[in-house]
Amino acid sequence: MEYITNFRDVKKHWGTTLRGGVREMVLDGLAMKNELSNYEKWYLKPRIQFLFIHHIFEDEEKNFDLVLKELTEHHTFISHSEAVERLLTGKVDKPYISWSSDDGFKNNLVAARILNKYGAKAIFYINPETIGVKDVNKAGEFCLKKLDMPPVEFLNWDEVQELLNQGHEIGSHTMAHDNITKMTLNEVEDDLSRSKEILSKRCGPVGHFAYPYGRYSDFNKQALELVFKTGYESCSTGERGCHVSDGSSIEKEQLVIRRDQIIAYWKLGHMKYFIANGAKKAVLENNFIPEEWK
C-alpha cells in the first residue's frame, strides 16, 4: 500500500458514474452562464465567505494558485478568528474571504505555501488521533473507513507547529472524524473536551470547531450547545452559503458558520461559479441556527 499524491487517484477510487458525468455537463453550462453574466459584480458584495478545502494534491496546485490569484483582486483575506469576530460584531463592510481546511493531510503544507503567497491565512481543522500516524496501512484504513479515499499521508505534530509558525490557525475536527449524530451526548462532550485539551497543549489556545461530514443532518442543536459549553468560540458546517450583516451584533451561541467547499481539481470556471453563486445568495438567515436543528 502506498500514499497517493494526485487527486485523479481519488477519482479513480470513486469510479465513474452517469450522475457524475451529468453533473460535469451541468456545471459546464452554469460556469459559462456565470462568465456571461458579469459574475464579478457578486465578488464586490460586502460579505464574509468561508471557503474550505480538504487537500491540495500535486495535480491541484496550479488551479489553487489561479483561484487565489483571481480572488485577491476583489477580496480581503482574513483569518477565521477575525471573520468570526466581524460577524459577531456586525462589522462586515466589504468582501472578505476566510480559508479553512479539514482532515489534516500532509499536503496541507502545500496549501499553506500557496495561501502565504497571497497573504491568506487559514484554519486547519485536525483530528488528534491521525496526527503523526506513520503506518501507511493504518492511515489507509482510516481514509477508507472515515473519508472514502485511498491512503493519504497525514501531518505530524512538527508540521502542525510549522503551520502555526506561518500564522495559520488550528481547530478541532473531533478526535477521530466520527459522525456526531451516531454518538451519545456524553460521548460527544467527552470527544469535544479531549480534542480541545490535546490540541491546546500542543498548539496553544484552540477556539474553533468544525464537525465531520458537514451536512446539517450530521449535527444537531444539542451538540451545538456542547460545543460552546466546552469552550469553543465557533462551530462550522460544510453547508454551502456565505454571510452578510445588517450591522447588528450576534451572540456566539446563535452563529452557525456555512462554508463553500472548493476542490482545486475542478475546472477554474466551476470554482468561480460556486463562489459567485454563494455571494449572490447570501442572506442574513445564513448566520443563524438552521431550521433543521430547532
Residue 2 in any domain: the answer is: no
Domain count, the chain: 1
- For the entire predicted model, the pTM comes to 0.97
Residue 54 in any domain: the answer is: yes
Residue 152 in any domain: the answer is: yes
Residue 199 in any domain: the answer is: yes
- How many residues appear in the chain? 294
Q: What is the CATH number of the domain that holds 182?
A: 3.20.20.370
Give the domain extent around 223.
7-293
Residues 6+ apart with CB under 8 A from 138: none
Residue 219 in any domain: the answer is: yes
Residue 1 in any domain: the answer is: no
Q: Which residue ranges in the chain fall short of pLDDT 50?
A: none
Tens digits of residue pLDDT in 249-261: 999 999 999 999 9
Among residues 68, 34, 74, which one has the least CA distance to residue 277?
Answer: 34
Predicted confidence at residue 259, as pLDDT, reads 98
CA angle 45, 50, 53 (to 5 degrees): 135
Among residues 243, 247, 246, which one has the least CA distance to residue 278?
Answer: 243
